[in-house]
């Protein structure tokens, strides 16, 4: 291993024997964004709109590295986020209309070493019994006692996250006399997929126990460096199987409310809402819930509902007496009809 690691340790930048290298890590941050919107009046009753947004930030830097000074072992993170939305406002009459919106969001993020898909360090160093995939290729983390960490830091994970979410929102409104009644629903479908490694190329420590004279009583940092050059670690950690859940669930909510104008200065807002929270389902059935006793107090992993009604009464000053900055007087009351009722 000595010929490989000798090229990775930079030359001294100071004459201080205890701290002979001072680094100046640099990072790169870039963000490309694209947004477009179109509005179209379809006849006298429909107003249609559409929107598209793409956001692609890119970052390269030391990340959470324990020793950020050494160059060449940065992490690279890139996003590719997309948003689509379309909507239609349909007018049935001057007092009755409906608004329908449909949207889709895709979030994708990757983080890996700069050597991913380019350089197989495990093969170069001759480490046996470990075959990381190209996406996880990186210089393994090597830490001799008394020296800084070399390689892709054990604090910088390697992962790919993908989240897809679709949403339908519909709101119906009509005005009749002193009442403005609104009713609607929201339905969300979500899928989350991730694949993540902690230390796919290994984290190795070198104490010097193999280079110190026998019997080994104490070791020095020079012994630790010798163990590194010989390739004799005192301990190591490696993750060969990634954490890879594939979750999906559905949420929904329904509501109805009435804005009731009691007088010219007094308005009551009365509403009722019901929500449903679907439990996450793993595609390959690889998740479990821990149920403590008594079971009635803790039911993880269960689907649930929540309902509530609210009243808001607002009073404003008489016409002609409004003063700039004068707040309205309001009374607000919410009654929660139970929280997260489990559905067996």
Q: Which among 192, 210, 244 is the end of a domain?
A: 244
Task: Say yes or no: 141 and 268 in one domain.
Answer: no
Structure confidence at residue 343 as a pLDDT band (50, 70, 90):
very low
Q: Which among 244, 262, 280 is the end of a domain?
A: 244
Per residue in 64-93, pLDDT (tens digit) is: 776 666 777 889 999 999 999 999 999 999
Range from 59-63, 190-194, 299-303 carrying the lowest mean pLDDT: 299-303
Per residue in 102-135, pLDDT (tens digit) is: 999 999 999 999 999 999 999 988 888 889 999 9
Strands (E) across the chain are located at: 28-42, 46-61, 75-79, 81-93, 96-113, 141-144, 158-176, 179-197, 203-206, 235-237, 246-263, 266-277, 281-282, 303-315, 329-336, 341-343
Output the pLDDT for position 1: 62
Task: Say yes or no: 182 and 261 in one domain.
Answer: no
Task: Say yes or no: 14 and 138 in one domain.
Answer: yes
Output the pLDDT for position 323: 40
pLDDT of 18 strictly over 70: no
Q: Which two tokens stand for residue 269?
A: 């807002």
Task: Say yes or no: 53 and 87 in one domain.
Answer: yes
Structure confidence at residue 326 as a pLDDT band (50, 70, 90):
very low
pLDDT of 40 strictly over 80: yes
Cα(302)–Cα(258) distance, rounded to whole angstroms?
33
Task: Say yes or no: 237 and 256 in one domain.
Answer: no
Task: Say yes or no: 101 and 183 in one domain.
Answer: yes
The count of structural domains within the chain is 2
Task: Say yes or no: 160 and 140 in one domain.
Answer: yes
Task: Say yes or no: 155 and 214 in one domain.
Answer: yes
Cα(6)–Cα(9) distance, rounded to whole angstroms?
6
* Domain span holding position 343: 251-344
Residue 267 exposure: Cα atoms within 13 Å on the Cβ side: 15
Per residue in 210-240, pLDDT (tens digit) is: 999 888 888 888 899 889 888 899 998 999 8
Output the pLDDT for position 310: 55
pLDDT of 318 strictly over 80: no
Output the pLDDT for position 328: 46
Task: Say yes or no: 187 and 276 in one domain.
Answer: no
Task: Say yes or no: 207 and 310 in one domain.
Answer: no
- Model confidence, pTM: 0.75
Q: Which among 215, 244, 273 is the end of a domain?
A: 244
Task: Say yes or no: 189 and 258 in one domain.
Answer: no
pLDDT of 58 strictly over 50: yes
Residue with the larger pLDDT of the pair 172 and 296? 172
Task: Say yes or no: 151 and 216 in one domain.
Answer: yes
């Amino acid at each position: 291993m000595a010929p490989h690691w000798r090229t990775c340790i930079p030359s001294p930048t100071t004459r201080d024997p205890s701290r002979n290298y001072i680094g100046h890590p640099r990072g790169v941050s870039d963000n490309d964004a694209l947004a477009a919107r179109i509005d179209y009046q379809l006849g006298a009753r429909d107003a249609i709109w559409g929107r598209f947004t793409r956001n692609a930030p890119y970052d390269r830097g030391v990340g959470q590295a324990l020793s950020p000074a050494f160059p060449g072992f940065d992490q690279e993170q890139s996003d590719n986020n997309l948003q689509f939305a379309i909507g239609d406002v349909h007018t049935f009459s001057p007092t009755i209309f409906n608004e329908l919106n449909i949207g889709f969001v895709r979030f994708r993020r990757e983080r890996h070493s700069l050597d991913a898909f380019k350089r197989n360090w495990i093969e170069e160093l001759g480490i046996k019994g470990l075959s990381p995939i190209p996406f996880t290729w990186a210089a393994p983390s090597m830490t001799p006692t008394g020296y800084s960490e070399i390689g892709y830091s054990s604090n910088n994970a390697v992962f790919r996250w993908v989240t897809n979410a679709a949403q339908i929102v519909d709101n119906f409104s009509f005005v009749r006399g002193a009442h403005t009644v609104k009713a609607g629903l929201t339905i969300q479908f979500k899928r989350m997929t991730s694949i993540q490694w902690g230390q796919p190329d290994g984290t190795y420590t070198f104490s010097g126990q193999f280079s110190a004279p026998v019997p080994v009583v104490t070791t020095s940092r020079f012994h630790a460096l010798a163990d590194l050059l010989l390739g004799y670690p005192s301990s190591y950690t490696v993750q060969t199987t990634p954490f890879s859940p594939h979750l999906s669930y559905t949420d929904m909510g329904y509501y109805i409310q009435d804005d009731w104008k009691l007088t010219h200065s007094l308005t009551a807002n009365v509403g009722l809402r019901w929500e449903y929270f679907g439990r996450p389902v793993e595609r390959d059935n690889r998740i479990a819930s821990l149920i403590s006793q008594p079971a009635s107090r803790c039911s993880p992993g269960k689907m649930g509902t929540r309902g509530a009604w609210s009243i808001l009464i607002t009073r404003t000053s008489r016409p002609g007496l409004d003063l700039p900055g004068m707040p309205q007087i309001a009374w607000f009351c919410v009654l929660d009809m139970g929280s997260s009722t489990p559905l067996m």
